[in-house]
Structures are given as C-alpha cells and as structure tokens.
Structure 1
C-alpha cells in the first residue's frame, strides 16, 4: 500500500528555496536541517522536500541540481497569484497565457532554478476536450 508520495528537489540553496515555497505558496516546514527541508501545505496536505545535492545521502554521480522539472500548483485564481509573484520580484519565465488543453498559467523560477507552473483550469478547446477521461 502506498502511504505517501512527494517530490524531493535538489537545490544548492536549501534555505532560500524553502523560504520561497513558504512565502509564496503557504507551505509549512515539517523538518528542517541545513541540507534538507520537508514542507507540507496546511490546506491541501501536499508535500515537497528540498535537498542539497552534495549531501551524503545522494548516490555518487547523481548530485545534480534539479533541471527540466516543473512543479505544478493548481490554484483558484492564477491571475491574482501571478500579479502577487511579479510584485514580489519572483522571476517570471513565461507570462500568463491560456492553453487550448485547458489551463491558464504562468511559469516562474524558484531560487534553485526549478520551474513552478501555477495554473487554473479553464475550458479546453473541443479538440482537447475529447481527450479527457470522464469524471
């Protein structure tokens, strides 16, 4: 039986990355060391962890900073969140836009270089609507 699942992102500045997720997305810290921080969102219970890639728990040859990773947060009002993030100086990698597959989103970058895709579902185009499973 699967009890839990969460992403662990490697970052060279664990403290700054943890502060980013706490400040901008409301995560709480459940464990904190200088090399690892575990975060949980108080409303949804979602978890995320941050790890220094040079820590001894990372297998030799795999100590790389997360690249090519998108962390997605689905929220009720992406426009309001995008405005708040921009006002706070969070680097915007891709501005707000609607996608035909059913998302309005903005993509920002966390202090460790991980892309954060903030989305609000919208009605997909008919072409994509047929691809969704019922329910």
Structure 2
C-alpha cells in the first residue's frame, strides 16, 4: 500500500515537540491567592500541619510538600488586580495519602473543628476521598488510590 502523505506533511515536525513548553516536566509550585492571610496561614500550619518552608514577606508564605511548594499569597502582581470575590473558590487541591491516612486525616480535621464536605468515602473510580474547604473556600481533597 502506497503512503498517501505528502512530502510537506512528513517533513513537518510535530507542533508539541517543537514547543519550548515541552521542557516542562512538573509543577514546581502552586500559589493560592488568599483573602485572609492570617486565617489561611493558621489553617495550613496549625490544622494541616504543613511545614513552613519560608516567608518571603507578610504577603507570601511557602510550605514544602515533598518536591513541591505550596504558596499562600495576596494578589498584587499588577495594579489592576481586583480582590478575589467572597464566596468564590480559587482552586481545588488534591493531597495523596494512603487509604488509612484518609481516615486519620478526617479524624484530625474533625478534632480541629473543621467541617467536612464529605467523610471518607470509597469512590467507584478507585479512590478513597474526603473533601473540605479552607478558610477562603477553596476545595481540598485528601485521597488514596484503593
């Protein structure tokens, strides 16, 4: 069977392999834009017990999570940035643990007075999950593959 592709089609490199963005291999850090830095810092440090990596300013706090960094920041990169509206979540974060740790995390959250959106639940797609919100309303998931 004869190849039906033209010389132009076969000599054209794949757009994805030519892109300089193909060098990206991982997310290095994630930033949560916060409304209430004190409440968010207390939640991530005291409730979730994330290890403080560094505080670059009162408006930028970093936590070390494995090979990644989670930063809490007040929006301020441009003068035109508006504050995040109340009642809107900025993102969802999922934290992977073992199946037993999902339950232990749920117990600790309840002990700390944090309301759960859903208790530890085995999902049909093979995860054990629990969901909660941080003080700014962002959706947090603690999950395990089961």
- 2:132: which partner in 1? 108
Give the SS at the match of 2:107: helix
Unaligned stretches of 5+ in structure 2?
A: 1-22
- For the pair shown, the structure with the greater C-alpha radius of gyration is 2
Moved more, 58-67 or 7-16: 58-67
**Partner residue of 1:19 out of 42, 45, 49:** 42
More helix by share: 2
CA displacement at 1:9 relative to structure 2: 0.9
Q: Distance in 2 between matches of 1:109 and 1:102?
A: 22
- 2:29: which partner in 1? 6
Q: Distance in 1 between matches of 2:93 and 2:51?
A: 14
Alignment of 1:1-135 (within 5 A): 1-2=23-24, 5-23=28-46, 24-41=48-65, 44-53=66-75, 55=76, 57-58=77-78, 60-61=80-81, 63-64=83-84, 67=89, 69-76=91-98, 77-122=101-146
Q: Distance in 2 between matches of 1:120 and 1:10?
A: 26
Aligned length: 118
CA displacement at 1:32 relative to structure 2: 4.1
- 2:7: which partner in 1? none
The runs of at least 4 consecutive aligned structure 1 residues that moved more than 3 Å come to 1-4
C-alpha root-mean-square deviation of aligned residues, in Å? 2.2
1:52-95 deviation line (CA, Å, top 9, x unaligned): 13x3x146245426616211101121011111111111121222
Moved more, 108-117 or 30-39: 30-39
